[in-house]
Amino acid sequence: MGIISLRNRILFMTLGLIVLLGVIVVIFVKTELTKALLFDLQDKGISLTKHLADISVNDILTENRLRLQMQINDYKESTREIKYIFIHDKKGKVLVHTFRKGFPSDLNKINEVKPGEEYSIQSIIADKEAILDIAVPILKGETGVVHAGFSEEPLNLTVDKKVRFLVGIIIVILFIGNGAAILFTSAITKPIYNLTKTAEQVSIGNLEQKAMVTTGDEIGRLGITFNKMIDELKNDRGKIKEYTESLEEMIRKVSASREELDRTNKKLQIANKELIKSNEELDEFTYVVSHDLKEPLRGIGAFSGFLRQKYRDKLDEKGKHYIDIILDSSERMRRLIDDLLKLSRISYGETPFEYTNVSYILNEVKDNLSYALESKKCVLEIPDDLPTVYCDSTRIREVFHNLIINAIKYNDKDKPHIEIGYNGHNDHYTFHVKDNGIGIEEKYFDKIFHIFQRLERDDKEGTGAGLTIVKRIIYKHGGRVWVESKVGEGTTIFFTIPKNKRRI
C-alpha cells in the first residue's frame, strides 16, 4: 500500500459517488416520470371513456347493438392507446366488446364501479400486457358500464427512452468525472508521493535528500517545513555525534579511573588485612612480653622488699631512699604491665556477647566505686529507664568504670557531680558520662585516647591507658568514642553501641 492506493481510493470514491448519484437520479426520474405519465393517461382515459359513455346512451336505450358495436370499433381504431372496449349491462352481461377472439372470461366482473362513483380505475394484466382499465357508468349505472383498457406500454416505452438518455448522460459525466478525478488526484498525490519518498529516505538515515517544493499551497508549505526539519535533524545529528564522542571519552576516563580505584582498593584491602594481622600479632606479642616481664618484675619487687626489711640497719638514709624508689618504680611498672595485658586481651581473648540491661551494669560499677564516690562526696546520677544492649557486658562495665573513675578523679569542685545519660534516636544508642570537673583543653581531645598519654597531673595511680582501653572496647562493639569539654566547667565523654547485633 503506497501513494498509488491513495490515488485509487480518490478515484474509486469519485466514481462510486457519481454512480450512486446516477442510480438515485435514475430511480427518482423513472418513478416521477412514470407517475406523471400515468396521471396523464388516467386523465385522458377518463375523459375518453366518459365521452364514450355519453355517446353510447342512445344506442343502449334503443338497444341498437349494431350501432353500438360500430361506435366502439370506431372509437378503438381512432385512439391508439385503447386496447379494448366493452360495455356490460346493469347485471354484468357483456353487451358489446372489441375482442376479436371472444370476450376473455378473466375480465368478467373486474373493476366494478361502486354506487355514486363517477368512474373506477384498476391496473390489470391482460394478454401479458399492463393495462389500465377505466370503468364509467352509463346513466349512473342504471343502463350499464363502459370499460376501456388503455395500454401502459407506450408510457413505459417513453419512460425507458428518457431513462436511457439519462443513463447516457450519467456515463458521459462518469467519464468526465473520471478524467477530472485522475487529474485532480495526481495534482495532489504527486507532491505527496515525492514527500513520502523523501520521508522514506530520511527514515533510513539519508539526510541528503530534500523534498521537492513545486507549489505554494499547503503541500508546498509541508515540503518547506519538512526540509527545515531535515536541516535541524542534520544539525542535531552533528551535535549528537559530538556528545556521543565526548560521552565515550568520559566513559573511557571513568572506567580507567574506576580500574585504578579498584586496584587501589584491592591494595588497600590487602594492606588492611596485613594491618589487622600485624595488630593481632602485636597484641599477642604485647600479651606474651607483658606476661613474661611480670616474672622478673615480681623478683625485683620481692628482693627489694627483702633488702628493705632485712638490711634496713646496714643501709644509710640514701640507701633506704633508693630502695623506696626501686619499690615505687617496680609497683608503677607492674600497673603499666597490667594495663598492657588488659589492652592486649581485648582483641586477644574472646568473651561472649549477650543482651544486658545497662542499669544492671551501672549498678555494679556504682557498688564497686562506692568508696571513691563517698570519699569525694560525689553525686552519681543514673537514669531509671536504661536500654538493654547486645554487648560484652564485662567490657562495657570496664568502660563505665574507667569513665566514672576519671570523672571522680579529675574533679576539683566542692560538689562533684556525675551524670549518666543516653539517647536511642538512630540505629545506635549514644551514652554519655558527664562531669563538672576540671575539663580538658581542646588540643588534647585526641591525645587522651592514646596509650599512656596523660595530661600533667599529680595523680600517681593512673597510667594513661584507661581511655585507650575504653576506645578499644567500643571499637570492638562497632561504636565510636569522642569527648566534649570546657576547661574549668567539665567534661562529657560520649560513646555509641549499635542497636543491631554487631561485633568487630
Return the number of the residue (229 or 455) whose C-beta is nearest ligand ADP. 455
Smallest distance from ligand ADP to CB 331, Å: 15
Q: Is 491 in the site for Mg ion (CB under 5 A)?
A: no
**Which residues contact ligand ADP by CB under 6 A?**
402, 406-407, 410, 435, 437-440, 448, 454-455, 457, 462-468, 491
Q: Grid coordinates representing 150?
A: 388503455
Closer residue to ligand ADP, CB minimum distance, 367 or 459: 459
From the number of C-beta atoms within 10 Å of its C-beta (0-12, 13-18, 19+), residue 99 rates as middle
CA distance 195 to 220: 10
The residue nearest Mg ion at its CB is: 466
Q: What are phi and psi of 42, to 5 degrees?
A: -60, -50
DSSP assignment, residue 323? H
Q: Which is nearer to Mg ion, 107 or 448 (CB)?
A: 448
List Cβ neighbours of 389 (8 Å cut-off, separation of 6 or more): 355, 356, 358, 396, 429, 497, 499
CB 490 to Mg ion: min, Å:
16
> CB of 304: closest distance to Mg ion in angstroms?
27
Cα–Cα distance measured from residue 118 to residue 134, given in angstroms and rounded to the nearest whole number: 11
387 binds, among ligand ADP, Mg ion, none (CB under 5 to 8 A by kind): none
Output 365-370 pairs: Cβ under 8 A, ≥24 positions apart.
365/397, 365/400, 365/401, 365/404, 368/401, 369/401, 369/404, 369/405, 369/408
Counted residue by residue, the chain has a size of 504
Q: What stretches of 311-384 show up as alpha helix (H) in DSSP?
A: 317-348, 358-368, 370-375
Shortest distance, CB of residue 489 to ligand ADP, whole angstroms? 11
| Residue 406 touches Mg ion, criterion: CB under 5 A | yes
Task: Return the range that interacts with Mg ion (CB under 5 A); candidates 161-169, 363-371, 374-382, 405-413.
Answer: 405-413
Q: What, of ligand ADP, Mg ion, none, does residue 220 touch, CB below 5 to 8 Å by kind?
A: none
Rounded to an integer, what distance in angstroms lies between the CA atom of residue 210 and that of residue 212? 6
3-state DSSP call for residue 485?
strand
Which is closer to ligand ADP, CB of 154 or CB of 488? 488
The verdict on 466 binding Mg ion (CB under 5 A) reads: yes
Only one of the segments 40-48, 130-138, 231-239, 454-462 lies at the binding site for Mg ion (rule: CB under 5 A); that segment is 454-462
Nearer Cβ to Mg ion, position 319 or 462? 462
Rounded Cα–Cα distance for residues 434 and 363 (Å): 17
Q: Which is nearer to ligand ADP, 135 or 407 (CB)?
A: 407
Least Cβ distance, residue 275 to Mg ion (angstroms) = 27
What minimum distance in Å lies between the beta carbon of 418 and ligand ADP?
9
Task: Kindly list the residues in this chain that would bind Mg ion in the complex (CB under 5 A).
Answer: 406, 462, 466
